[in-house]
């Protein structure tokens, strides 16, 4: 065999008489499958869960010279090894029959009513390798079943074959330790720690890892049989990660979401939002055009609504200044839909806004320093900056950060604390809430001041570094870490979750030389396709539009797939501003904070109803495919084309045509074609050369709270949004909580689990207290359904 990479050490061995040469250290299971074309069946082996454990014993093979059979999963290929699998070894075959018989001894014969039936590894391997009958003559072991381990997952202990995949996921991948094995021997069972619900944000992955029907998603139980479903390959649009998924379609309904492993994006993991959240019930959806009449919002024919709206907007455009109309989006559109809205914006000379804050919107400028998601795996230093957990903006990135840390990367967290990553972080630099920008500015300044690789003429003075660093807490300590990493030619990665000015990040990337090598900056956008919307030209920040509305320079606004009242930290101002605006048009899936202020409301197509592409946070363009018809029967591409027609412009009515138009005009799509995007999209981006950025503007320190008030940390949580709020099985994931610093809790006499009420500008939040030793005192962290911020929250015991 010559298919080996030159320079890597290889070993030559024989499996079932076939000689193969593989890289040293290859697992025997993998070598057999990939190089010798021999299947060695497995149950517990799953490389994504860490080192093999050799528990199920399904992969026993005979190795010449070994005194007994060996588990192939825990064996590395050795030079000269002669391996006989069950295919050629009587002894291995007998052991394999034995293992399957043992597994099935107490496994119920309920395949006909088991949801796993038909797509069950145990069933498949029993058919392929099993002895065909059982010699078990005694009554089977029974357990109470099914046991809900959360509102999303049920456990059937009788079906469990104790492969420990789920507990290894919980312990070694998500690192929550919530799923455990209890008791021992034949009475071993899977359980949740202390009988608490399995509430990890990634819990649903265990339902896919489970090789039997023991862990099943509640929502999919008794819903479908594998032969009556169609799995549609698509991309999750729950956040900007862009995890690849299968949508399981049965009789016109998406019943289930499965991961479709893209190693460079999601590694086969999904968060529970992506897996379980549904825009249901469909009959509560806005399914037709509505316009405000005498009795409120009333359905009206498409053409009537679109033509009237076009006329009104034309009138506004004619009477106002350029930019009197604003089209506001929030990453909910496909690139093709965004392209249509760009054309409409041009026709109306409208301004656009696609991200909450303009200053951090131009993340494309960071492309010279950008790192792909997969680079996290190889990072030596991982720095997370911001108030928010990365999970909240890009679900599965959390698992990648943990994986990097387990592999030896130094994890540094810079933020106010109270998140789940700090306990295992090598460095935790505590800052005030909202200090992300100061941190980055201080780091950039300090990097220059201590003689970073690229000293600028306008280097700040030592004094300004000190004051910036003081605002930022332990920035200098962090900088030392980064400098050491650079010096050792290693690869730092930076993850930014806060609204941080692009210019500051650019300055930092420049000062640290992050444009060279494998590492870099990974900004985490707020909207799922925020980056794609910008790439087709919907640029600008909500904050600019809000200011325009308040100043009266914007008199008409179209809000497409974004609820700025809930999703913006300035929700209250949005509400007041929209109430005074002449023309408010919204496109929404459900009635929400902005539809109630709109004169016209149009139906929004959501995931599984759209054909097109989206761009993830790396810039990877991926396909989304429809499983269902558009909610109104007319797709957004079709009705925007009609609307554009009333404005005398033409837009494509199909995604393929729209994509061609985008590829021809938008640089980020150059060279891409609709037909070659494929199911596992590559990242088609090249790093532009870094240019010396302008000096960062001094960041304003976060304002001090009034006496007795708390600084509020309420970034939009992962488990929020219209779909999450309507999904019953996610009830436990969105259950409110309040995180208080230990000092504050003691002062207020609040104990762990006590109900706490937090009043803030956007509303009132009541939940059980979590006490954090790391959260900065004087701050309170809540999982508010929207975005909120401020320095005047009040905290007190509820009741």
Partner 1 sequence: MPEAPTFAAPTESSILLPFAGTRREIAEYEATGGYQSLRKAVGMTSEQLVDEMIASNLRGRGGAGFPAGRKASFLAPGEDRYLVINGDESEPGTFKDREIILRNPHMLIEGILIYLWMIKGAGAYIYIRGEYAKEAAILEGAIAQARAAGYIGQPLLGTDYVPNVYVHRGAGAYICGEETALLSSLNGERGQPTAKPPFPAVSGAFKKPTLLNNVETVATVPVIIGMGGAAYAGIGTEQSTGTKMFSLSGHVRNPGNYEMPLSATYRDLIDGKGGGLPEGRTLKAFVPGGSSMPILMPNQLDTGLAFEAVVAAGSMAGSGAVIVVDDRTCMVRFALRTAEFYKHESCGKCTPCREGTRWITELLRKLESGLGTTEEIDLLLNICDRVEGNCLCVLGDACAMPVRSHIRNFRDEIEEPVRLGRCPCPDDAPMADLYPPLLRAPLPLVHAG
Among positions 2, 133, 187, 676, the unique one binding partner 1 when judged by CB under 8 A: 187
Using CB under 8 A as the binding rule, whether residue 56 contacts partner 1 is answered as yes
Among positions 185, 252, 667, 671, the unique one binding partner 1 when judged by CB under 8 A: 185
Using CB under 8 A as the binding rule, whether residue 131 contacts partner 1 is answered as no
Burial class (CB in 10 A: 0-12, 13-18, 19+), 408: exposed
Show the DSSP H helices in 613-749 as ranges: 636-646, 655-665, 722-726, 742-748
Note every long-range contact of 262-266, with CB atoms under 8 Å and residues 24 or more positions apart, other chains counting: 262/680, 262/681, 263/374, 264/372, 264/373, 264/374, 264/683, 265/241, 265/373, 265/616, 265/618, 265/620, 266/241, 266/242, 266/396
Neighbours of 251 (CB within 10 A): 10
Return the number of the residue (135 or 671) whose C-beta is nearest partner 1: 135
- Under 8 Å between Cβ of 545 and 520: no
Return the number of the residue (183 or 648) whose C-beta is nearest partner 1: 183
| Matching residue, tokens 């799953």 | 46
Using CB under 8 A as the binding rule, whether residue 189 contacts partner 1 is answered as yes
Beta bridge pairs of residue 496: 385, 523
Using CB under 8 A as the binding rule, whether residue 372 contacts partner 1 is answered as no
Using CB under 8 A as the binding rule, whether residue 68 contacts partner 1 is answered as yes
Among positions 57, 342, 405, 734, the unique one binding partner 1 when judged by CB under 8 A: 57
Return the number of the residue (58 or 459) whose C-beta is nearest partner 1: 58
| Phi/psi of residue 88, nearest 5 degrees | -120, -5
Using CB under 8 A as the binding rule, whether residue 161 contacts partner 1 is answered as yes
Using CB under 8 A as the binding rule, whether residue 133 contacts partner 1 is answered as no
Q: Sketch the per residue contact string, 15 through 54, with partner 1: x for CB under 8 A, - otherwise.
A: -------------------------------------xxx
Return the number of the residue (97 or 550) whose C-beta is nearest partner 1: 97
Closest to 234 (Cα-Cα) out of 260, 199, 201, 197: 260
Using CB under 8 A as the binding rule, whether residue 344 contacts partner 1 is answered as no
Residues 90-129, interacting with partner 1 (CB under 8 A): 94-95, 97-99, 101-103, 105-106
Separation between Cα atoms, residue 238 and residue 275, nearest integer Å: 9
Stretch that binds partner 1, among 67-75, 236-244, 265-273, 750-758 (CB under 8 A): 67-75
| Phi/psi of residue 372, nearest 5 degrees | -75, 160
- Under 8 Å between Cβ of 202 and 234: no
Number of residues forming the site for partner 1 (CB under 8 A):
44
Q: At what angle do helices 335-348 and 655-665 cross, to 10 degrees?
A: 70
Provide the minimum distance between the beta carbon of 186 and partner 1 in the complex, in angstroms, as a whole number. Answer: 4
Among positions 3, 138, 318, 457, the unique one binding partner 1 when judged by CB under 8 A: 138
Burial 342-354 (b: 16+ CB within 10 A, else e): bbbbebbebbbbb
Provide the minimum distance between the beta carbon of 536 and partner 1 in the complex, in angstroms, as a whole number. Answer: 51
Separation between Cα atoms, residue 398 and residue 389, nearest integer Å: 8
Return the number of the residue (142 or 665) whose C-beta is nearest partner 1: 142
Using CB under 8 A as the binding rule, whether residue 184 contacts partner 1 is answered as yes
Return the number of the residue (187 or 295) whose C-beta is nearest partner 1: 187
Return the number of the residue (101 or 754) whose C-beta is nearest partner 1: 101
Stretch that binds partner 1, among 11-19, 30-38, 68-76, 460-468 (CB under 8 A): 68-76
The DSSP H or E segment spanning 230 is strand 230-235
**CB-based contacts of 356: which residues, under 8 Å, 6+ apart?**
330, 499, 526, 541, 542, 543, 567, 568, 569, 787
Stretch that binds partner 1, among 139-147, 414-422, 439-447, 771-779 (CB under 8 A): 139-147
Closest to 628 (Cα-Cα) out of 204, 230, 222: 230
Return the number of the residue (8 or 134) whose C-beta is nearest partner 1: 134
Using CB under 8 A as the binding rule, whether residue 142 contacts partner 1 is answered as yes
Q: Is the peptide bond before 438 cis (omega within 30 degrees of 0)?
A: no
Return the number of the residue (126 or 391) whose C-beta is nearest partner 1: 126
Using CB under 8 A as the binding rule, whether residue 188 contacts partner 1 is answered as yes
CA distances from residue 22 to 79, 80, 389 in whole angstroms, order as listed: 9, 12, 41
Using CB under 8 A as the binding rule, whether residue 55 contacts partner 1 is answered as yes
Q: Is the peptide bond before 410 cis (omega within 30 degrees of 0)?
A: no
Provide the minimum distance between the beta carbon of 189 and partner 1 in the complex, in angstroms, as a whole number. Answer: 7
Torsion of CA 323, 327, 328, 332, to 10 degrees: -150
Biggest alpha carbon–alpha carbon distance for the chain = 91
Provide the minimum distance between the beta carbon of 145 and partner 1 in the complex, in angstroms, as a whole number. Answer: 8
Using CB under 8 A as the binding rule, whether residue 146 contacts partner 1 is answered as no
Return the number of the residue (136 or 455) whose C-beta is nearest partner 1: 136
Using CB under 8 A as the binding rule, whether residue 60 contacts partner 1 is answered as yes
Neighbours of 130 (CB within 10 A): 19
| Sign of torsion over alpha carbons 292, 295, 297, 298 | negative
Provide the minimum distance between the beta carbon of 101 and partner 1 in the complex, in angstroms, as a whole number. Answer: 8
Among positions 28, 42, 49, 71, the unique one binding partner 1 when judged by CB under 8 A: 71
Return the number of the residue (146 or 436) whose C-beta is nearest partner 1: 146
The DSSP H or E segment spanning 718 is none
Provide the minimum distance between the beta carbon of 490 and partner 1 in the complex, in angstroms, as a whole number. Answer: 22
Return the number of the residue (148 or 233) whose C-beta is nearest partner 1: 148
Return the number of the residue (161 or 554) whose C-beta is nearest partner 1: 161
Return the number of the residue (51 or 753) whose C-beta is nearest partner 1: 51
Provide the minimum distance between the beta carbon of 85 and partner 1 in the complex, in angstroms, as a whole number. Answer: 15
Closest to 353 (Cα-Cα) out of 549, 522, 613: 549
Binding positions for partner 1, rule: CB under 8 A? 52-58, 60, 68-69, 71, 74, 94-95, 97-99, 101-103, 105-106, 135-144, 157, 161-162, 164, 181, 183-189
């Amino acid at each position: 065999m010559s298919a080996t990479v030159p320079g890597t050490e290889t070993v030559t061995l024989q499996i079932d008489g076939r000689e193969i040469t593989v890289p040293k250290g290859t697992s025997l299971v993998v070598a057999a499958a990939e190089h010798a074309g021999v299947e060695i069946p497995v149950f517990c082996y799953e490389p994504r869960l860490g080192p093999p454990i050799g528990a199920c014993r399904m992969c026993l093979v005979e190795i010449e010279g070994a005194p007994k059979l060996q588990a192939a999963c825990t064996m590395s290929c050795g030079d000269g090894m002669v391996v006989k699998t069950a295919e050629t070894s009587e002894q291995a075959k007998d052991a394999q029959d034995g293992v399957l018989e043992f597994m099935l001894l107490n496994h119920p014969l309920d395949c006909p009513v088991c949801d796993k039936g038909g797509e069950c590894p145990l069933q498949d391997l029993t058919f392929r390798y099993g002895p065909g009958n059982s010699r078990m003559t005694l009554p089977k072991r029974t357990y109470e079943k099914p046991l809900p381990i959360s509102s999303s997952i049920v456990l059937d202990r009788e079906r469990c074959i104790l492969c420990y995949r789920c507990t290894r996921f919980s312990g070694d991948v998500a690192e929550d330790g919530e799923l455990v094995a209890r008791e021992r021997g034949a009475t071993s069972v899977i359980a949740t720690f202390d009988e608490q619900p399995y509430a990890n944000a990634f819990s649903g992955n265990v339902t896919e890892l489970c090789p039997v029907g023991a862990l099943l998603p509640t929502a999919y139980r008794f819903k479908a049989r594998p032969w009556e479903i169609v799995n549609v390959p698509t991309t999750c649009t729950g956040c900007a990660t862009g995890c690849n998924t299968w949508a399981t379609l049965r009789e016109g309904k998406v019943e289930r979401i499965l991961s479709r492993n893209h190693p460079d994006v999601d590694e086969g993991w999904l968060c529970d939002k992506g897996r379980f959240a549904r825009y249901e019930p469909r009959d509560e959806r806005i399914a037709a055009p509505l316009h405000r009449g005498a009795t409120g919002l009333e359905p009206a024919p498409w053409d009537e609504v679109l033509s009237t709206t076009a006329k009104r907007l034309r009138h506004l455009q004619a009477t106002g200044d350029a930019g009197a109309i604003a089209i506001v989006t929030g990453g909910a559109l496909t690139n093709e839909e965004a392209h249509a809205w760009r054309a409409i914006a041009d026709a109306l000379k409208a301004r656009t806004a696609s991200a909450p804050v303009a200053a951090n919107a131009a993340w494309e400028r960071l492309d010279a320093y950008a790192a792909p998601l997969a680079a996290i795996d190889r990072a030596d230093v991982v720095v997370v900056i911001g108030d928010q957990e990365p999970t909240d903006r890009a679900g599965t990135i959390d698992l990648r950060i943990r994986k990097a840390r387990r592999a030896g990367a130094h994890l540094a967290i810079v933020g106010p604390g109270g998140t789940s990553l700090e306990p295992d972080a090598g460095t935790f630099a505590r800052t005030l809430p909202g200090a992300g920008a100061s941190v980055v500015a201080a780091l950039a300044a300090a990097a220059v001041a201590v003689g970073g690789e690229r000293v600028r003429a306008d280097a700040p003075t030592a004094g300004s570094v000190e004051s910036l660093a003081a605002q930022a807490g332990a920035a200098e300590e962090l900088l030392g870490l980064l400098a050491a990493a650079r010096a050792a030619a290693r690869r730092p990665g930076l993850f930014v979750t806060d609204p941080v000015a692009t210019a500051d990040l650019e300055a930092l990337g420049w000062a640290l030389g992050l444009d060279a090598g494998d590492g870099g900056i990974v900004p985490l956008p707020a909207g799922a396709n925020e980056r794609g919307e910008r790439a087709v030209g919907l640029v600008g920040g909500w904050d600019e539009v809000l200011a325009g509305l308040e100043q009266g320079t914007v008199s008409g606004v179209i809000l497409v797939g974004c609820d700025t009242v809930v999703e913006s930290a300035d929700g209250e101002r949005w509400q007041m501003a929209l109430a005074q605006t002449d023309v408010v048009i919204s496109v929404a899936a459900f009635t929400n904070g902005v539809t109630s202020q709109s004169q016209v409301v149009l139906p929004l197509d959501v995931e599984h109803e759209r054909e097109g592409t989206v761009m993830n946070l790396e810039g990877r363009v991926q396909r989304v495919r429809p499983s269902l018809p558009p909610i109104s029967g007319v797709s957004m591409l079709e009705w925007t084309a009609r609307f554009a027609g009333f404005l005398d412009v033409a837009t494509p009515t199909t995604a393929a045509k729209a994509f061609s138009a985008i590829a021809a005009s938008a640089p980020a799509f150059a060279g891409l074609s609709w037909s070659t995007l494929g199911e596992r999209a590559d990242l088609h981006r090249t790093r532009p050369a870094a240019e010396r950025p302008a000096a960062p503007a001094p960041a304003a320190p976060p304002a001090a709270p009034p006496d007795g008030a708390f600084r509020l940390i309420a970034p939009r949580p992962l488990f929020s949004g219209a779909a999450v709020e309507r999904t019953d099985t996610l009830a436990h994931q969105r259950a409110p909580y309040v995180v208080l610093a230990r000092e504050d809790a003691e002062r207020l006499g609040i104990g762990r689990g006590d109900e706490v009420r937090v009043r803030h500008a956007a509303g009132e939040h009541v939940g059980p207290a979590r006490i954090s030793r790391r959260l900065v005192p004087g701050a309170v962290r809540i999982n508010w359904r929207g975005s909120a911020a401020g320095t005047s929250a009040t905290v007190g015991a509820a009741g």
